[in-house]
Amino acid sequence: MEKAPFFENVCDGPEGGSAYWLTTADGLRIRAGVWPHAGETKSTGQTKGTVFILPGRTECVEKYGRAATDLAQRGYASLAIDWRGQGIADRMLADRSIGHVEHFDDYQLDLAAVLNMARDLDLPKPWFMIGHSMGGAIGLRALLEGAPFEAASFSAPMWGIGLTSVQKVMLQFLAPILALFNLDRQRAPGTKSETYMMGQDFEGNTLTSDANMYAYMRAQVAAEPSLGLGGPSTRWVRESIAENTDIDTFASPDVPILCFLGMNEAIVNTDAVRARMARWPRGELIEVPKAQHEIPMEVPETRKQFFDRSCALFDANL
């Protein structure tokens, strides 16, 4: 484990943040960013615990700087991850703009490396989890496999991809053919090489209804283009659908959770989220009016609700 670049100039996180290079069991280099809680520098002097932030597809450590601040103000240290194939972690393909993974459960190797880092750094316990979008799919699998999180909060978890039935059927037939000719590592049809925020004005975006947060996300990629990522490979899409299909066969883990879903959600499959939450005895679904995909980066009142409710859950499980 060694220090990694940390773009504090675009992060807007708590003081004292740092980043580390980690090596996964299959030899890839990923990155994790760690922030102390506010009390370590100016208030109570005691940390309640550590929140592991599991980002969505295309995201990077720095995108969660403001979230780390929200958590720090509530007494929690936090960390965020550059998954393989995004941020400045090792990219999987020569074309760095394509989001790719060979097998969806490879992300569990990334999380295992981060858990080892947390042990080595002796990050304050208990440990909790926030899983956003793709990170929500990774986080659900981790909970099913016994990851050491006492409670979790999900934001628009990718427990189903927002594709139509026709698109799914087409992909099921197309992906094996593309794989046969080693073409499933090309960008999925209909997706772009450009990072979403850089090609989409705030008006009409599907991420957030907060113009300030959208500008924050956009400014990060403008300042540090290496953080950007375009559309996924066909293989990533196929692997994600296969993961969702497989995990749907499991009962919900015996872990207390909250799940936030914007009522203007347009990226993940909302029916899949509602179905999972209907069979999670220790879970609560919170549907947020007017909110879009990025619940932790929505308008101030929505962000406050997300972090207040999430940290109340964590407080109850200290």
DSSP state of 144: H
Whole-number pLDDT of residue 176: 74
The residues, any chain, with a CB within 8 Å of residue 165's CB and separated by 6 or more, are none
3 state SS of 192: coil
Q: Does domain 2-316 have CATH number 3.30.420.40?
A: no
pLDDT of residue 158: 97
Residues in the chain predicted with pLDDT less than 70, given as ranges, are 38-45, 163-172, 175, 181
161-182 pLDDT tens trace: 876 666 666 666 776 777 776 7
CB 76 within 8 A of CB 51: yes
Residue 174 is predicted with a pLDDT of: 74
- Positive or negative torsion for Cα 134, 136, 137, 138: positive
Q: What is the pLDDT of residue 186?
A: 87
pLDDT in tens, 70-112: 999 999 999 999 999 999 999 999 999 999 999 999 999 999 9
pLDDT score at 177: 75
Q: Could you read off the pLDDT of 278-305 as tens digits, one per residue?
A: 999 999 999 999 999 999 999 999 999 9
All structural domains of the chain with their residue ranges:
2-316
